[in-house]
A = this chain, B = another copy of it.
Amino acid sequence: MPPPVLNSALGLGRRLTLPDPLRLDSGVELAGAKVAYSTYGAFDPDNAVLICHALTGNQHVASPDLKTGKPGWWEAMVGAGRPIDPTRNFVLCANVLGGCSGSTGPCSTPPGASRPYGSAFPAITIGDMVRAQAAWLDQLGVKRLKAVVGGSMGGAQALAWASLLPERVRAAVVIASAARHSAQNIAFHEVGRAAIMADPDWNGGDYDGAGPVRGLAVARMAAHVTYLSERALTERFGRQLRNAGQFEVESYLHHQGARFVERFDANSYIAITRALDAFDLAEAHGGSLARAFSPATRFCVVSFDSDWLYPTAESRAIVRALNACGAPVSFVELSSPHGHDAFLLDQPDLRAVVGGFLGSL
């Protein structure tokens, strides 16, 4: 029996410890795993919307990041009068397993130990992230989700939720995502991991203090280019020079790298990118993506025409599989100049699509 929900378990910046060991896809049992989360709105087990964050996101979806003070990363989508409205829904968001914003990850200290996991942190999968979230929701007394919503890696989690625990998901909103990571995406991730591991401060993953911040900054720079469209880079920076022969776009990338290492952990970056690279929903179903889904879940799939990291073809593959298995799905490719990052921005048509879909549930 789950414990009764206490109001003290709800709100911003919360954390709980899962009572049972988490059995990972690798076979490893992870004991004492913690889940850091925030909730918005009044507790309502029948009206819960779970938001899954992207690779470098966290639980601060619609309220200031408690570490950096920056606004929540999806205030465009979550808030009063927004498509995911805490005045009408019980909204939840947790830091993923493997993360570095309070949930158990490589920089957590294992129960009874005196040093962080570091290199000893086990390999994790998108499925493991979902099962950790399910165990956490059990503790809160949320049996079934009205919807699970996510963009990019959040979309992968939404797909995995619908695939692994269809009885708990009435609807899934999958934005700028894919049912498997492409060779090109794996390649870009490996460039980032190689940059981290080339940094002598990485020390095989067992570092003290800040760790391999130079390598992590390079990893972020490489990834950041993939989040933007060529058009967005051209319109924003073109070939403008900042000073002394440095282009604006160079200075911008270095700024992104420098800010990133203040808030993210290199081992988490490695663990989470590996989880994403390993993601392939069809693989676990004999190569048939259609068999990964249940027709009982309703889907909303959204792509952006300038997103070359998760191009529309990846969303179409999801939609074809959903059609094949008879699941209700609405699909739209939205127009945006902003590339993959479009899902994070305040776009009226994205708000209309997601708001309309959730309103119809």
Mark A residues whose CB is within 8 Å of B.
Answer: 123, 180-184, 186-188, 190-191, 194-195, 198-200, 214-215, 217-218, 221-222, 225, 228, 230, 233-234, 236-239, 245, 247, 249-250, 253-254, 257, 274, 277-278, 280, 283, 308, 311
Contact = CB atoms under 8 A, between A and B. Distances in A.
Given A184-B234, A191-B225, 18 more contacts: A183-B236, A183-B237, A184-B228, A184-B233, A186-B249, A187-B225, A190-B221, A190-B247, A191-B218, A194-B217, A194-B218, A195-B198, A198-B215, A222-B222, A230-B311, A239-B280, A247-B277, A308-B308
B217 A198 contact: yes
Nearest to A123: B245
A200 to B, nearest CB: 6
A231 to B, nearest CB: 9
Count this chain's copies in the assembly: 2
B249 A194 contact: no
A263 to B, nearest CB: 19
B218 A253 contact: no
Contacts of A191: 191, 218, 221-222, 225, 253
Q: Which of A123, A199, A218, A233 has the most C-beta atoms of chain B within 10 angstroms of its own C-beta? A: A218
B123 A186 contact: no
Contacts of A198: 195, 198-199, 214-215, 217-218
A239 B277 CA distance: 9
A64 to B, nearest CB: 30
A217 B191 CA distance: 10
Q: Give me the 10 closest cross-chain CB pairs, A-B, nearest first.
A: A198-B214, A183-B233, A190-B250, A184-B230, A187-B225, A183-B237, A191-B222, A183-B249, A195-B218, A191-B221
Q: Which of A188, A194, A245 has the most C-beta atoms of chain B within 10 angstroms of its own C-beta? A: A194
A175 to B, nearest CB: 20
A72 to B, nearest CB: 27
A60 to B, nearest CB: 28
Contacts of A180: 239
A194 B182 contact: no
A217 B198 CA distance: 9
A214 B212 CA distance: 14
Contacts of A194: 217-218, 221, 253-254, 257
Contacts of A181: 239
A254 B197 CA distance: 12
Contacts of A233: 182-184, 187
A239 to B, nearest CB: 6
A344 to B, nearest CB: 19
Contacts of A249: 183, 186-187, 190
A191 B217 CA distance: 10
A69 B40 CA distance: 65
A124 to B, nearest CB: 12
A198 B200 CA distance: 10
A227 to B, nearest CB: 11
